[in-house]
A = this chain, B = another copy of it.
Amino acid sequence: MPVTIEDVASAANVSVTTVSHVFSGKRPVSEATKARVRDAARRLGYRPSAIAQSLRVQRTDTVMIILPDITNPFYPDFARGAQDVLRAAGYHSLLGNTDGLAAEELRFLEEAYSRRVDGVIFMGFRLASDELLTFTEAGLALVTVGPSLPGKLVDSVRFDDEAGARRAVEYLLSTHESVAFISGEQDAPVSVSRRAGYDAALRAAGRRTPDGYVVAADFTRVGGRAGMRELLAHPVPPTAVFCANDLVAMGALDVLKERGLRVPEDVAIVGCDDIELASVVTPKLTTVRHPAAELGRQAAALLVSRMSKDFNGSGREVVIGTELILRESA
């Protein structure tokens, strides 16, 4: 009969849980108790199963979710959706907030790699794809949010940003001569695809945009204020503005209110995301809905299947459609 963990617990006069903590190192146990458990184990010839130990080393049942800005409600909603799927599949998740900094993105990936988490959901703006691929080649299961990466080692999820932006701008062009765009940081992938949608809508309608109608801001309310001020300083200020996200749109509304301009009568505003604030602000925001929690659930579902022992598939891409929610601001 092999010696069991129960034998050790009863010989050391402690609970089975305590014995398990001594060998896993998962929870603190007093030095005296540790010594007593180890003594008993040695005396009885008990060794924690080598197979169980090696499994434990290889799998941590932990996932890291790397996000650019937790103070933008879009990302907590995304994380929440992902966590619901991960928890149901038995995974625990850690969150990393990069503030959109390349150094932080890299640091979290290093952390995920060196701490041997089982997988990563990565929503980053800065890291080049070959840097990401270094980690996947080393065995880290990875799902990115944004443009898909080459090869079969990474899955990706994203919204159909280009179509969403195009739809919003087409809607504005139906009642306005031209439309300005307060873009997010210009090199961010979502900015590139939303810009493509903006350009496509103008092209399709045969309209030309005055120079200076596309301004870059960061993706925050403060950024939106700066962008709107810049547009109002234009020789021919726009009567319709498409905004990179709802926080940017909120910032634009702040400035228009300050200047005594009416929305939508003087300037129409459309946002992106449909965060809770969008339906609470006055006037309520017309916006391109990006269901954040759904994106999170899809990312987590891809990661769970990729982390499974027998996964042997290619890189997959999930693209989620968007819809234009008409409210009061345009």
Residues of A within 8 A of B (CB): 24-28, 62, 64, 70-71, 73, 76-77, 79-80, 83, 92-97, 99, 104, 107, 110-111, 113-115, 134-135, 137-140, 250, 276-277, 280-282
Check B27 against A110 for contact (C-beta < 8 Å).
yes
Of the residues B28, B73, B111, B282, contact of A73 by C-beta under 8 Å: B73
Q: Taking CB as reference atom, which chain B residue is nearest A73?
A: B73
Q: Taking CB as reference atom, which chain B residue is nearest A112?
A: B94
Contacts known (A70-B95, A73-B71, A92-B107); A135 close to B28, Cβ less than 8 A? yes
Q: Taking CB as reference atom, which chain B residue is nearest A293?
A: B71
Check A96 against B97 for contact (C-beta < 8 Å).
no
Q: Give the copy number.
A: 2
Q: Is the interface of A mostly helix, strand, loop or mixed?
A: mixed
Check B111 against A62 for contact (C-beta < 8 Å).
yes
Not counting A27-B134, A79-B97, a sample of 7 additional A-B residue pairs whose C-beta atoms are within 8 angstroms of each other reads A26-B110, A70-B76, A70-B95, A83-B97, A95-B96, A250-B280, A277-B277
Q: Report chain B residues within 8 Å CB of A276.
A: 277
Instruction: Enumerate 21 A-B pairs (CB-CB under 8 Å) in ascending A order.
Output: A24-B114, A26-B110, A27-B135, A28-B113, A28-B135, A28-B138, A64-B94, A70-B70, A70-B79, A73-B76, A76-B76, A83-B99, A92-B107, A93-B97, A94-B95, A94-B111, A115-B115, A276-B277, A277-B277, A277-B280, A280-B281
Q: Report chain B residues within 8 Å CB of A79.
A: 70, 97
Bound-state Cα–Cα, A147 to B95, Å: 26
Q: Report chain B residues within 8 Å CB of A28.
A: 113, 134-135, 137-140
Check B62 against A71 for contact (C-beta < 8 Å).
no
Check A27 against B113 for contact (C-beta < 8 Å).
yes
Q: Report chain B residues within 8 Å CB of A111.
A: 62, 92, 94
Q: Report chain B residues within 8 Å CB of A110.
A: 26-27
Check A76 against B80 for contact (C-beta < 8 Å).
no
Q: Report chain B residues within 8 Å CB of A83.
A: 97, 99
Q: Report chain B residues within 8 Å CB of A280.
A: 250, 277, 280-282
Check B73 against A26 for contact (C-beta < 8 Å).
no
Bound-state Cα–Cα, A20 to B119, Å: 24
Q: Taking CB as reference atom, which chain B residue is nearest A83?
A: B97
Give 4 nearest A-B pairs by CB, closest first. A28-B138, A95-B95, A70-B76, A71-B76
